[in-house]
Chain A
Amino acid sequence: MNLTLKVWRQKNASDKGGFREYKVKDISEHMSFLEMLDVLNEELLEKGEDPVHFDHDCREGICGMCSLHINGKPHGPLQTTTCQLHMRSFNDGETITIEPFRAKAFPVVKDLVVDRGAFDRIIQSGGYVTVNTGGVPDANEIPIPKVIADEAFDSATCIGCGACVAACKNASAMLFVSAKISQLALLPQGKVERKERAEKMVAQMDAEGFGACTNTGACSAECPKEIKLSNIARMNREYFTASVTTENV
């Protein structure tokens, strides 16, 4: 198939940036979206033009490095990652608009590459169980009901890609933050620090400049890992409980 691409080009963080139009020909429906961009880049290189920069790594939908806003949607028309999106989802002759994820807390680095370091800093603020290597109990010491373990797993599958932020009209990071808070609040290992964790992670999220949640649910609808909106409800509960009760004795 032949396609017209409107791609966001921006030299660096301080450049204003803008759309450039490119044509690509003979694209196979079996290609992944990123492979289609590889084709474009090979052509640009041959013409002596700077290739389009975009983040990607595992190309199997798990590392969370690829991003892209495709035709107005994070990771494009399907509820999957861009690397798992295939060209069979597009039609011959179509014009495809490709932008970086847009959010104040995700500044553009170059072209389609954004800085998602804010997510790392949120995890650093409390997204862990305080346990050193060694000296831990036997793995089967604390039985965990299967339904709880499964629910925690569902929250833990977040890949940190940032599609939730990009999908949200407020650029809120609530789905990302709540997924981690939920996972650890559900498991006995994480319960010990649940209050402090909720308070610290929410504070860091606010400090990073993410917006508030207005419950539209766009985040969950676009999440390639189908992280559920109920995580946000759980996070609000955790946060509220933490703010009205205390561990201090």
Chain B
Amino acid sequence: MNLRMKSLAASTILSLGLISGPALAEELRFTVWTGSEAHLKMLNEIAESFKATKPDVTVRFETIPAADYTQKLTFQLAGGNPPDLGWMMEDAAPTFAAAGVLMDLGPTLREAEGYDFADYSEPALGLWTKAETVYGVPFSTSPFMIFYNKTLFDEAGLEDPLQLAASGKWNMDTFQEVAKTIKDKTGKWGFEFKDGQGYESRIMHALMPPIRAHGGDVWANGECGFDKPEAVQAVQQLHDMVFKDKSIVPPGEQGDYFSGSSAMTINQISRASKMPEAGFEWGIAPLPSGPAGESPVIGQAAIVVFERGEQKELAAEFVAHMTNKENVAKMAQFFPPARKSVLESDAFTSANAIIPAEQMAHVSDAIAKGKVLPSHEKSPQILAAMAPRVDTLWKPDAEVKQALAGVCAAIEPLL
């Protein structure tokens, strides 16, 4: 071997060593689905404050878009490249917990100084605990709220949802009425499903609130609820709004609320960060009540640690840090807390930079009264089996009852 060959070989070996060798400072990789600068800034501040006890530890937040989040996370786990910790959506929780890929955080959290694990309300932890095992800590227990465009309501000469709620008139019937009036008077859509995805990836977010308001459920205890009279009634009303009143953005059409094309939508308060740049007056209000009274629907997400990560003990400590009282209060401006002490404090209702306290009070109220979205170990299969049947529902001449019976036939074997 001549000198050149020798040096080439040496540098190759050296660089291979660098690639596979352990990093000197410890870094935790944390997957999230937010790309919002405000969210990431806050998360990085929390990571920075972890250095008070662990000066050598840095946390790198990695954004994976929400639509692909669960799949990409699975690839990383299966490909031997697990993140140390990450966010997890409620519909993925049972699948991941059953697969044994989530670390039990119970011991770390119960021992953490000043953590006060009992401060987490039990219903909020329901999805994330099994007996003494804690699979995740909910960082966002966020009810679905009505976001409305006050400018459009004024233009149509209507009371807005918040005013209607204050006088006790905010129910599914007035919801249908105002949506139609807006469409007739302003030409804009009355209502858009969450992120305009109600017919595709957010079927549950579209159907769940009215079904619960009518006193139904999509499934419970292994039984399908879509074909029960309450659900049929609720969906029939939506169907009328889409195809008769033409007040809800119909399938195949785009009517973005955030750019002013729809007067109302359903979303969570983390999305309010998008509102200041919207260019119209806006507000948030509770979901309209139905024959079954008020029945808020909550979407939940938690922080989990992956069993296959190499630094899981350290990651668990970071979870304890991130979800202590101080940091939960800090995150509460975007992500409604599951900690009772924070939820009940003024800090939560009055500290939001974007949403007025009066409206935040409705958020607290919804968290207290609401139920989390349904979840299932086979959620992905159920949603996939449901989707083509739900497609048959969203046609002008569809028989709602028949279509919903079809949904049940498709998902019952999986429940």
Q: Is the A/B pair a real complex?
A: no
Residues of B within 8 A of A (CB): none
